[in-house]
Structure formats: C-alpha cells, structure tokens
C-alpha cells in the first residue's frame, strides 16, 4: 500500500474511538520492529522521524526503508511523519521526500530551544499548513511548550512551565487550520518525566479534557507518552546500566486521553529502553559475541514486543483493514474544497 495520509489515519481513529501510536525511527531494525508489531496486531501505524533521525540515517536511506516497509506490508496503512519540524524549510524538505505528514513545532523558535511568541507560532504554522495542504500532506502543530529535550530539540524543563491555554488552543486551531494539535499537559520527552507515579498535579489530564471540550473536532496529540516501565529499566540496570529511578505516563492515563480526543500517541523512549536492555543483556552475558546480528535481533524483538503491546493498549490493533487508502492527490482536493477543514468555527456549523 502507498504511504497514507496521516489525516485519514486519524479521522478513522476518531471514528473508531481509538488512538494510534506514533513511533520514532532511526534505522532499519526499528522500522522492522514496528512493522513486525503492526503485522502481528493488524494495526495502522504512524512512523515518525525527528530532524536528528533524518541526519543520523541520512534522508534517503531512511525514506527508502519506509518505502520498503510499505511495499512489504501492503495490508498495513502507514503514515510517514516529520516529528518536531523546527522551520518551514524542514517541513518542506520532508514533503519533498514523500512524507505524508509533518509537525511544525512553532512553539519554539528555529533553534529548537527558545519558546516563541503566540503570533510567531501562528505565522509559521499557517505557512506550513498552506504549503502542505496544497500537496495533500497533514500538519500537526503545537501550542504550549512540551518539557524535556529529544534529539537536541526542546526547551527542557518539566513540561509544566508552559502548559497549553485552552483559549489559545482554540484561537490557534482557528487561525492555522492544523489537522492535529500537540498540547502541553505536563509530559516531557525522555526517560526522566516524573519522580514518582504522576498525579493530577504534574500530569494535567483535566486540562486535556477541557481542551477537547473546546476543540471536539481537532485530533489531539500526546507527546512524551512513554510509560518508562520498571521492567524495562530493570533489564538495563541488571546488565550494567545506570538508570536512576523514574516514572513515565501510565498507560491508563493515555487511555483516558484517547477517550477524550487523543488520536496520536508519541512513543520513543520505551522502544529505546527495550532495545538497549536487550543489547546490554547479550553483551553482558555473552562477552565473546561480536556479530551485530547477535544483539540486534533480540533488540528488534524487544522493541516489537513493546510496540505490539502499545498498539493493543491504544486500541489501533485490528483496524488495519478497515479502510482503503485515499490517494494524497484526493486528500489535497478535500483541503482545497473545504471538506477537510476542521477550523472550530466551521466545524461548529
């Protein structure tokens, strides 16, 4: 199957009342792990690459691997998404490669570190929406600023410094016409999110529910959604790692989000932990090994297990065959004739 519009994938998820995991990739084994899990659970899937991933793998290697995944898995809808685009140019280059979705993270300036103003965010996101929609490509925006740093991108902090203001979220959706909106509710990228199991003082699910009430037709995105399970931490530490005690986002909180408008759930850290644990285990217990396949194969399997588990927990499992992909050129027509316009003022009519 050709790569699918992320908008179509999220619209279908909204119809079915489920969430779709968006898993980060940097290399062939991670792409294979995601496809193994998608095949096993019959799930549509979002594969995403950060700027760091695109630089690490080189654009063409990474994109050709995604094309191979699509060719080898004709029954699985796959959307290819640019994670945290820092500028119009980054998004444009992803679209030129063939990505079917881009995130314009205008909550930060182009340096990927400094929080921007609301007007700066609206301006750059609107420009990306105009450009992308003309080409049938989906756009995710961000309002409020997420915590932590991922692949060098991020303002740092706990994620509570700039939580999303619901009025601003509505104005942002109206003025930009984004298809999906990342909101800041206290989550952050990376392994160190919370110092104990999070409660409502640090993970603001009430705010998410409020924003969904104001923007019922906008697909919400939860970034920083790794659960950082203790068993994955334990494997790393058992085999010579040095992770400090930490907590992620409990799966039941993500499921609460999914019941309240979250359609895209970003997960990277859990997969990194799973792979690292598996590699450590081989190298620690069998120090004579030196063939990369001896540790990359278990690493790939460990990641596939985590991804399959999340696909089941998010509810996307079993939905791969629900729909036929709409060609991107048809999606572009939908944007042009207004039928895919989800701005709150139009959706309310």
Supply the minimum distance, in Å, between the C-beta of residue 342 and ligand 13P.
22
Half-sphere exposure of 319 (CA within 13 A, CB side): 24
Residues that bind ligand 13P (CB under 6 A): 24, 83-84, 150, 189-190, 223-226, 266-269
Residue by residue, DSSP assigns 9-45 as HHHHHHHHT--EEEEE-SSHHHHHHHHHHHHHHT--E
Q: For residues 154 and 261, which CB has a smaller minimum distance to ligand 13P in the complex?
A: 154
Angle between helix 292-314 and 28-41 (nearest 10) = 40
Ranges of beta strands (E only) in the chain are 20-24, 45-49, 78-85, 101-104, 138-143, 180-183, 219-222, 262-267
Supply the minimum distance, in Å, between the C-beta of residue 311 and ligand 13P.
15
Q: What angle do CA 232, 235, 241 make, to 5 degrees?
A: 110
Q: What are phi and psi of 286, to 5 degrees?
A: -130, 70
Q: How far apart are CA 230 and CA 207, in angstroms?
A: 27
Supply the minimum distance, in Å, between the C-beta of residue 159 and ligand 13P.
10
Q: For residues 24 and 32, which CB has a smaller minimum distance to ligand 13P in the complex?
A: 24
Q: For residues 78 and 340, which CB has a smaller minimum distance to ligand 13P in the complex?
A: 78
Supply the minimum distance, in Å, between the C-beta of residue 180 and ligand 13P.
12
Q: For residues 169 and 274, which CB has a smaller minimum distance to ligand 13P in the complex?
A: 274
Backbone φ/ψ region at 228: left (φ over 0), alpha (ψ -120 to 50), beta = left
Q: For residues 226 and 276, which CB has a smaller minimum distance to ligand 13P in the complex?
A: 226
> Which residues fall within 8 angstroms of residue 313, CB to CB, at 6 or more apart?
251, 254, 255
Residue by residue, DSSP assigns 160-208 as -TBPPPHHHHHHHHHHH--SEEEE-SS-BSSS-SBSSS--TTTS-HHHH
Q: For residues 38 and 328, which CB has a smaller minimum distance to ligand 13P in the complex?
A: 38
- The verdict on whether 111 is a catalytic residue reads no
From the CB of residue 97, how many other CB atoms can be counted at a distance below 10 Å? Answer: 16
Supply the minimum distance, in Å, between the C-beta of residue 86 and ligand 13P.
13
Q: Out of 11, 83, 105, 151, pick the active-site residue.
A: 83
Supply the minimum distance, in Å, between the C-beta of residue 285 and ligand 13P.
27
Place of tokens 């450590």: 280
Q: How far apart are CA 270 and CA 276, in angstroms?
A: 10
Which two structure tokens, joined as six digits, stand for 201? 């003082």
Strand partners, 22: 46, 266
Q: Which residues are catalytic?
A: 83
């Amino acid at each position: 199957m050709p790569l699918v519009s992320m908008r179509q994938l999220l619209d279908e998820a909204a119809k079915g009342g489920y969430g779709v995991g968006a898993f980060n990739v940097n290399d062939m084994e991670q792409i294979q792990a995601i496809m193994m899990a998608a095949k096993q659970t019959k799930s549509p899937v979002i594969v995403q690459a950060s700027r760091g991933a695109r630089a690490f793998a080189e654009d063409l290697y990474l994109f050709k691997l995604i094309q191979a995944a699509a060719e080898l898995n004709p029954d699985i809808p796959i959307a290819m998404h640019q994670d945290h685009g820092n500028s119009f140019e980054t998004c444009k280059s992803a679209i030129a490669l063939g990505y079917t979705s881009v995130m314009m993270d205008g909550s930060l300036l182009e340096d990927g570190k400094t929080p921007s103003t609301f007007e700066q965010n609206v301006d750059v996101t609107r420009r990306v929406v105009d450009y992308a929609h003309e080409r049938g490509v989906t756009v995710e925006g961000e309002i409020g600023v997420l915590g932590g740093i991922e692949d060098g991108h991020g303002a740092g902090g706990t994620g509570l410094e700039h939580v999303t203001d619901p009025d601003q979220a509505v104005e942002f959706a109206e003025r930009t016409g984004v298809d999906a909106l990342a909101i800041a509710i206290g989550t952050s990228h990376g392994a160190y999110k919370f110092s104990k199991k999070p409660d409502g003082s640090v993970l603001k699910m009430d705010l998410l529910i409020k924003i969904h009430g104001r923007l019922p037709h906008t697909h919400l995105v939860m970034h920083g959604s790794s659960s950082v399970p203790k068993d994955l931490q334990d494997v790393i530490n058992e085999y010579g790692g040095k992770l400090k005690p930490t907590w992620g986002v409990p799966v039941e909180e993500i499921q609460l989000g999914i019941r309240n408008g979250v359609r895209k759930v970003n997960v990277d850290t859990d997969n990194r932990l799973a792979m690292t644990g598996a590699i450590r285990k081989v190298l620690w217990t069998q120090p004579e090994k030196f063939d990369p396949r001896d540790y990359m194969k278990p690493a790939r399997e460990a990641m596939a297990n985590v991804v399959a588990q999340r696909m089941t927990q998010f509810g996307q499992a079993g939905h791969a065959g629900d729909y036929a992909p709409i060609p991107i050129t048809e999606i572009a027509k939908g944007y042009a004739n207004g039928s895919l316009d989800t701005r709150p003022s139009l959706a309310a009519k």
